[in-house]
Amino acid sequence: MVQAIVNDTKKKNTLLRKLLKNKLASIGLVIVAIMAIVAIFAPWIATHPPDEMTVGKSFLAWNTEGHLLGTDNYGRDLFSRLVYGTRISMIVGIAAVLFGAVFGTLLGLVAGYFGGRLDAVIMRTMDGLFAFPFILLAITLMTVLGQGLVNVIVAIGIANIPGFARLVRGQVLSVKEEEFVEVTHSLGATHRRIIFSHILPNCLAPLIVYGTMSTAGAIISEAALSFLGLGVQPPTASWGSILKDGKDFLVLNPQMATFSGVCILVTVLGINLLGDGLRDALDPKMKV
Amino acid sequence: MGSFILKRLINLVPTLLVVGIIVFIITRMIPGDPASVMLGPQASVEDVENLRAELGLDKSLPAQFVSYIADLAQLNLGYSYSYSESVFGLIAERFPNTVILALAALFIAVVIGIPAGIFAARKQNTIVDYVVMLVSLVGVSMPIFWLGIMLVLFFSVNLGWLPATGMGSMDDGLWAFIKHLILPACALATIPMATFARITRSSMLEVISQDYIKTARSKGIKEYLVIGKHAFKNALTPILTVLGMQISNLLGGAVLTETIFSWPGMGRLIVDAIDKRDFVVVQGTVIFIAFIFVLVNLIVDVLYKVVNPKVNLDSDGGKK
């Protein structure tokens, strides 16, 4: 047991070392870490309450009257809204991918392990879900579910399920044929034990890489949904909704649209850099 | 080849059926009564009842499903009350516009992305390679709806070079048409272009290091022939795989791009229909796009087989 923990720690250390050796991945890691810190400590970093409106102070230019990036159309502090927007992006990014990963992995494991009709039914359903462009599926689900943070997570989460299911099923099919699985089975291990103790751990590396990449996609999707007015409800600050408001005041106040987009781009770029690095470190042959 | 295509076409049937079932389930999940939502709060009870009967919502769910699938099989996607037109007519009007935008974007992506990838692979580990890779990394991370707005801000608002919104008519001349197309097509092309550059570079690098390329070079074959003919042909398979995936990006991205640039295509139609709570149009357009996507992927699979006849796409775990 102790040996296992030591081995595990060693493995993590080598992964981190490999990541840090890769310059681009290190930059990605730093960006993601900064965004995570901003999200967690938003109340301390923001200079104003994000929803505080001040009459007569709309569209202030940057660095005026204590407003670092100026104010929006309702006189709300843009910097503080962007800081709080980090929270929404991070929450949706992580929660939606976890949602998709948990359900997708379970479906992929069951389909790949048991095969037969169950596999056919599950994978045909996944094919059907795959036939919708990702963002279109999320948009359609949002029209049914209605606005709100939880609904955004569910909609993007559902759109993420087929990707995870296909990935895991493919892994299971290749792991299932290995000798150790047969041996474990002949020793009397239950299906559940084989799936969760033997097959799932062998799927983890590609799952981590795919999950990281999907987080970037989920963040962009949340921003897109909020941009279309289908995401989080106003007055909640989200990068997408700030961009939506900014679009209407492009000439009067270009910083609203500009900075909200920069936040999305930098965060997504950071996650993609980290994802590339993780792929190279964990599974160089994988092409996600 | 003929039997391969036939087999793939037969395989389409269950997928399309599942697509139909998914959309049926999603639209039946709409909270409240779609008929009263569509008609608005001022509608009389009688009007709502009439619309319910017209939409078949007064029947049992299984009966609704049967008539829905029967309608789909006859390409009857329903009638839109907010547009006073059949959904199929609405799609027929707007789909060509989306195709124009998507093809223009695909053209830009292929013409710039693939040569950039080849160039970067040829100049591996030089400043050219780093610049191409950095730009394409930023490209794949780009929220295109933001890029679209920034393009409008720069090229339309600040410089006044190109129109910010709308679609040009061919009646006003080819240039007027192209002028309106440039910004939305560039925004939509960004992610596929960056993806093409990345995948072309990595598959070219893989091919260039192989023995037959070294042999070709040692035979004194001109470098552009070695790269263009021998290496690129073999690097094409992964590029085609990515092409299939990018179709999804283009169709999905069109929803956002068309909204920003007021491009009168399918994406704009969906977003407007959502605003008007016209679920019949949302349902019809979503199904239509999914069908098109499935068909385009079939064509890509066939191309894949043409380029690389050894590939077996029929077995499990084949091309994803």
Closest chain A C-alpha to B216 CA, distance in angstroms = 27
Q: Could you give the ipTM of this predicted complex?
A: 0.85
Inspect the interface and report whether the beta carbons of B31 and A127 lie closer than 8 Å: no
Give the helix ranges, DSSP H, for B261-278. Answer: 266-275
Mean pLDDT on A121-147: 87
Closest chain B C-alpha to A4 CA, distance in angstroms = 33
Smallest Cβ distance to B248: which of A127, A134, A250?
A: A134
Q: Give pLDDT tens digits for A41-93.
A: 989 988 888 887 777 777 777 777 777 778 888 778 889 999 999 999 999 99
Q: Are residues B30 and B103 in the same domain?
A: no
Q: Are residues B53 and B170 in the same domain?
A: no
**DSSP state letter for B163:** -
Tally of domains within chain B:
2
> What number of C-beta contacts closer than 8 Å exist between A and B?
131
Residue B61 lies in a domain: yes
Of chain A residues 155-214, which have a CB less than 8 A from chain B?
166, 170, 173-174
- Residue B10, chain A, CB below 8 Å: the answer is no
Closest chain A C-alpha to B215 CA, distance in angstroms = 26
Q: Are residues B127 and B204 in the same domain?
A: yes
Q: Tokens at residue B45, please?
A: 């009870």
Residue B146 lies in a domain: yes
Interface test with A, best of B145, B247, B274 (most A CBs within 10 A): B145
Residues B78, B284: Cα–Cα separation, whole Å: 7
Residue B122 lies in a domain: yes
Mean pLDDT on B12-40: 79
Contacts for A118 with CB less than 8 Å, ≥ 6 apart: A110, A111
Inspect the interface and report whether the beta carbons of B26 and A124 lie closer than 8 Å: no
Inspect the interface and report whether the beta carbons of A143 and B18 lie closer than 8 Å: no
Which residues from B are below 8 Å from A272, CB to CB?
137, 140-141
Residue B289 lies in a domain: no
Residue B297 lies in a domain: no
Inspect the interface and report whether the beta carbons of A131 and B256 lie closer than 8 Å: no
Residue B319 lies in a domain: no
- Residue B87, chain A, CB below 8 Å: the answer is no
> Which residue's structure tokens are 């099923």?
A169
Q: Give pLDDT tens digits for B101-129.
A: 999 999 999 999 998 998 898 888 888 88
Which residues from A are below 8 Å from B238, CB to CB?
287
Last residue within a domain, chosen from B38, B70, B87? B87
Q: Are residues B234 and B195 in the same domain?
A: yes
| Cβ A70 vs Cβ A254: under 8 Å | no
Q: Are residues B72 and B130 in the same domain?
A: no
Per-residue confidence (pLDDT) for residue A279, from 0 to 100: 86
Q: Are residues B61 and B112 in the same domain?
A: no
pLDDT bin (cut points 50, 70, 90) of residue A5 is: low
Mean pLDDT on A16-43: 90
Helix/strand/coil for B124: coil
Last residue within a domain, chosen from B42, B65, B87? B87
Last residue within a domain, chosen from B46, B72, B87? B87
Question: Which residue, among A151, A145, A143, A166, has the nearest Cα to A214 in the 3D structure?
Answer: A166
Distances (CA, A) of A146 to A88, A135, A154, A181, B72: 17, 16, 11, 45, 27
Evaluate if residue A288 carries a pLDDT over 50: no
Of chain B residues 62-81, which have a CB less than 8 A from chain A?
none
Rg (CA), chain B: 24
For chain A, give the secondary structure using H, E and C.
CHHHHHHHHHHHHHHHHHHHHCHHHHHHHHHHHHHHHHHHCHHHHCCCCCCCCCCCCCCCCCCECCECCCECCCCCEHHHHHHHHHHHHHHHHHHHHHHHHHHHHHHHHHHHHHCHHHHHHHHHHHHHHHCCCHHHHHHHHHHHHCCCHHHHHHHHHHHHHHHHHHHHHHHHHHHHCCHHHHHHHHCCCCHHHHHHHHHHHHHHHHHHHHHHHHHHHHHHHHHHHHHCCCCCCCCCCCHHHHHHHHHHCCCCCHHHHHHHHHHHHHHHHHHHHHHHHHHHHHCCCCCC
Evaluate if residue B264 carries a pLDDT over 60: yes
Evaluate if residue B4 carries a pLDDT over 90: no
Distances (CA, A) of A35 to A42, A270, B172: 10, 9, 49
Per-residue confidence (pLDDT) for residue A206, from 0 to 100: 87
Residue B182 lies in a domain: yes
Smallest Cβ distance to A265: which of B146, B282, B316?
A: B146
> Which residue's structure tokens are 């939880």?
A150
Which segment of A75-84, A147-156, B87-96, B230-239 scores lowest on mean pLDDT? B230-239
Helix/strand/coil for B80: strand
Inspect the interface and report whether the beta carbons of A216 and B141 lie closer than 8 Å: yes
Q: Are residues B114 and B251 in the same domain?
A: yes
Q: Are residues B106 and B238 in the same domain?
A: yes
Smallest Cβ distance to A128: which of B18, B142, B271?
A: B18
- Residue A282, chain B, CB below 8 Å: the answer is no
Evaluate if residue B318 carries a pLDDT over 70: no
Which residues from B are below 8 Å from A140, CB to CB?
23, 26, 282, 286
Please report, for the domain that includes residue B99, its CATH number.
1.10.3720.10
User: Count of CB atoms within 10 A of residue A126's CB?
Assistant: 22
Residues A66, A75: Cα–Cα separation, whole Å: 12
Go through B111-141 and write b for each residue having 16 or more CB atoms within 10 A of its CB, e for each that does not: ebbbebbbbbbbeeeeeebeebbeebbbbbb
Closest chain A C-alpha to B252 CA, distance in angstroms = 5
Q: Are residues B164 and B100 in the same domain?
A: yes
Q: Are residues B176 and B258 in the same domain?
A: yes
Per-residue confidence (pLDDT) for residue A12, from 0 to 100: 62
Residues A133, B254: Cα–Cα separation, whole Å: 10
Omega of the bond prior to A235 within 30 degrees of 0, cis? yes
Give the helix ranges, DSSP H, for chain B. Answer: 2-28, 34-39, 45-55, 61-73, 87-122, 127-140, 144-151, 174-208, 211-218, 223-225, 232-260, 266-275, 279-307
Inspect the interface and report whether the beta carbons of B149 and A129 lie closer than 8 Å: no
Per-residue confidence (pLDDT) for residue A283, from 0 to 100: 67
Q: Give pLDDT tens digits for B60-85.
A: 888 888 888 888 888 888 888 788 88
Mean pLDDT on A87-115: 94
Q: Are residues B174 and B65 in the same domain?
A: no
- Residue A54, chain B, CB below 8 Å: the answer is no
Let me know the angle formed at the C-alpha of B149 by A257 and B104, rounded to the nearest 5 degrees. Answer: 160
Residues A18, B193: Cα–Cα separation, whole Å: 29
Q: Give pLDDT tens digits for B172-206.
A: 777 888 888 999 999 999 999 999 999 888 888 88
Q: What are phi and psi of B5, to 5 degrees?
A: -65, -40
Of chain A residues 86-105, which have a CB less than 8 A from chain B?
none
Inspect the interface and report whether the beta carbons of A144 and B18 lie closer than 8 Å: no
Which residues from A are below 8 Å from B183, CB to CB?
none
Smallest Cβ distance to B140: which of A136, A141, A272?
A: A272
Is A229 or B226 the better-scoring residue by pLDDT?
A229
Structural domain that includes position B37:
2-87
Residues A156, A219: Cα–Cα separation, whole Å: 9
Residue B7 lies in a domain: yes
Q: Tokens at residue B209, please?
A: 């290091």
Q: Are residues B113 and B181 in the same domain?
A: yes
Closest chain B C-alpha to A156 CA, distance in angstroms = 14
Q: What is the largest CA-CA distance in chain A?
A: 77
Closest chain A C-alpha to B196 CA, distance in angstroms = 14
